[in-house]
Structure 1
Amino acid sequence: MNDNDQAARSARDVPVWTRNEVESPCVQICVIHPETRLCAGCARSIDEIGAWGGMSSEERRAIMADLPKREAAPKGRRGGRSARLKC
């Protein structure tokens, strides 16, 4: 086994460094809904998204716990054809 093989093997054996942080809920559908002011993808506010990197784990966990209760975009229809016919 040559030196390159040994170096490659030892690099594979070293565990990857990871952070012990709460992961971001981002799903890369970054659209802020004009009425709710929440991201349509992750349901965070623009302020929460901007501050995420500087938040403590406790702050992140609190937001993550609240996300399932949020409605990023209203589910109801805005009227469509029936609303136009009423005019």
Structure 2
Amino acid sequence: MALILYQRDDCHLCDRALEVLAAARAPAFEHVWIDADPTLEAAYGLRVPVLREDRTGAELDWPFDVAAVQRFLDALR
């Protein structure tokens, strides 16, 4: 699995997403901040935080909870 969390600097929703991912015991993921990248800003600007599985392109948009994260991860296995 190649997970990426797209997020912004100083984003309280992103902080909450990190808490949910920890509670869900999500596997390791890459952090990508979209603030300085116009392409990522256009794709994710209004949607962050977004958890993406890079190989399949599957995405889980905020808001999500522990159960939603676990369903997302189970579907990728």
TM-score by length of 2: 0.29
Of Structure 1 and Structure 2, the greater strand share is in 2
The structure richer in helix per residue is 1
